[in-house]
Amino acid sequence: MMRLLTGAASCDSFSFEPVRFFSQGSKVFVEGKHSTRHNVFWVHIWTVKEGRITQLREYFNTAVLVTDLKPNKPSVEIVSSYPCTTIWQSQLWKSKEGKSLPGFILAV
């Protein structure tokens, strides 16, 4: 992503499709996909301070998180044992083809 944002890489064939936005404080959370032969799903977390982007974090392949980190909805006992607070959770959404797309949980 840094090469694209700095102009070091061409973006002629890049298809960047944001699907959902959410903000909290100085953070902006964006879910979306990069349409190629195989869709690549991602989550970006942008930190904005005084009108400037100061940090970008990318998270790809959230399907691995959803399928490998079961259960999707942990019990109250499990959540209360976490040493952090969940501030945002994506929602499952469907593609144009009607396929379910992966969700993502961010705990800070």
| Model pLDDT for residues 84-105, shown as the tens digit of each residue | 555 555 555 566 666 655 555 5
- Count the domains in the chain: 1
Contact 93, 101 (CB under 8 A): yes
Find the domain containing 22 and state its range: 2-107
Residue 102 CB contacts under 8 Å (≥ 6 apart), including other chains:
41, 62, 63, 65, 66, 67, 92
The CATH number that applies at residue 79 is: 3.10.450
Q: What does the pLDDT read at residue 46?
A: 92
At 69-79, the pLDDT tens digits run 444 555 556 55
SS3 65: helix
Cα-Cα-Cα-Cα dihedral of 62, 63, 67, 68, to 10°? -50
Pair of tokens at residue 65 = 């998180």
At 7-39, the pLDDT tens digits run 666 655 656 788 889 899 999 999 888 766 556
Work out the angle at residue 57's Cα, subtended by the Cα atoms of residues 104 and 42, and round it to the nearest 5 degrees. Answer: 40
